[in-house]
Chains A and B, each alone.
Chain A
Amino acid sequence: MAPMRTSTKVMAAGTAVKPMTAEAAEEIAAQDFASIVESHRPQIFRFLLASLRDVDLAETLTQECFLKAHRNWKHFRGDSSAMTWLMRIAINLTKDHWRNRRLQFWRHTQANAIGVDEASDWLPNGDRSAEQQILAREQVALVWKIVDGLSPRQRTVFLLRYVEDRELSEIAKATGLSEGTVKAHLSRALARVRAELRGTR
């Protein structure tokens, strides 16, 4: 039987307390990962859903994202937040997906993706009047249309900022871009939204 690895917590006074076995450390790590899955899964799913507009594909890629994260969990050093790390994995998965889709052009991978109008149907009523509801739906459809026309990188930055509420520094880390580039992408995307909204006024 292999000797059991132990790590020992040492207090300031130098007295050793409660030795921790490798199994116990692994269990704690697994619990950590489970809690991270529980807390971040809906956000990752939401980001992937907004990026792809395909529920099944978003679910599949969410699973893949957490599978990859689990495999590399021991390499996660905590330089950024777990959420940023997971977002980075999710972004890479969407990139891979688009690349594969381009290569497999004969397959209709976007068959399950819903259209812009259908996506804009999802709007909570709140305490709006019917007129306000219609106006809000039109605005949402317009934003979807603009998001559809953005480049993949601009779209990712836009969704991370205005759907996921991520800070610029977090977006820069997740996308691997500089903060200046992120700002430039956001500025261009916002300019398009503004121009489209003014056009419909």
Chain B
Amino acid sequence: MSRRDKLAGEIDDPMVTGALENFKASVDAWSDAAYHRPRTVVKAARHTVRLAASWALVCLLAAGSLAGGLYERHHRQELARIEASKAAIKAAEQKVALEHAASEKPVKATTVTKRQPTAVKRAANENEDLLASVDSDVSRQVPAAMEPLAQMMDDNGAN
């Protein structure tokens, strides 16, 4: 039983049968041509180029992120160094200011003594030295108006 007879037995409309036969012949012809067509490697080459491009992009991104990370780390280290030096300068300035304040206001030094005993002690010593030198200067320099009295006292003492 041929295909045409088989289709005719199944489908009563000869036009439909003919259309289906033509359809099958068309698909067969197309399929044969496509099946036996020469194969090209254009797609494979394209694929290779695409693969290489994507790898290059990935490498670029990886290198970029690595460089960015390193730069960020270096930048942070630099900032930390600057902050540390600023803090050191500030601390030194505070220390100097404290010392200065201690030397200018000895009364307040008692409150500071607990916190910074060496600085206060040093300031107190300096104060004592200063007072001692002032005493000696005062004792040595007698004003001219008091000179006769001083001499008289000296004379009395001698007698």
Q: Is the C-beta of B58 less than 8 angstroms from some C-beta in chain A?
A: no
Closest to B43 in A: A56
Q: Is the C-beta of A42 less than 8 angstroms from some C-beta in chain B?
A: yes
Q: Is the C-beta of A136 less than 8 angstroms from some C-beta in chain B?
A: yes
Contact of A122 among B13, B16, B19, B33 (CB under 8 A): B33
Q: Is the C-beta of B72 less than 8 angstroms from some C-beta in chain A?
A: no
Whether the Cβ atoms of A42 and B20 lie closer than 8 Å is: no
Whether the Cβ atoms of A140 and B30 lie closer than 8 Å is: no
Interface size on B, residues (CB 8 A): 25
Interface size on A, residues (CB 8 A): 28
Q: Is the C-beta of A119 less than 8 angstroms from some C-beta in chain B?
A: yes
Q: Is the C-beta of A142 less than 8 angstroms from some C-beta in chain B?
A: yes
Measured between beta carbons, the chain A residues less than 8 angstroms from B31 are 42, 45-46, 49-50
Contacts A49-B30, A119-B30, A163-B24 given: A143-B35 contact, CB under 8 Å?
Answer: no
Closest to B20 in A: A162
B128 to chain A, nearest CB (A): 89
Docked Cα-Cα span, A162 to B24, in Å, equals 7
Whether the Cβ atoms of A140 and B16 lie closer than 8 Å is: no
Closest to B34 in A: A55
Measured between beta carbons, the chain A residues less than 8 angstroms from B113 are none
B: residues with CB less than 8 A from A are: 3, 7, 11, 13, 15-16, 18-20, 22-35, 37, 43
A: residues with CB less than 8 A from B are: 42, 45-46, 49-50, 55-56, 58-59, 119-120, 122-124, 136, 139-140, 142-144, 162-163, 165, 190, 193-194, 197, 201
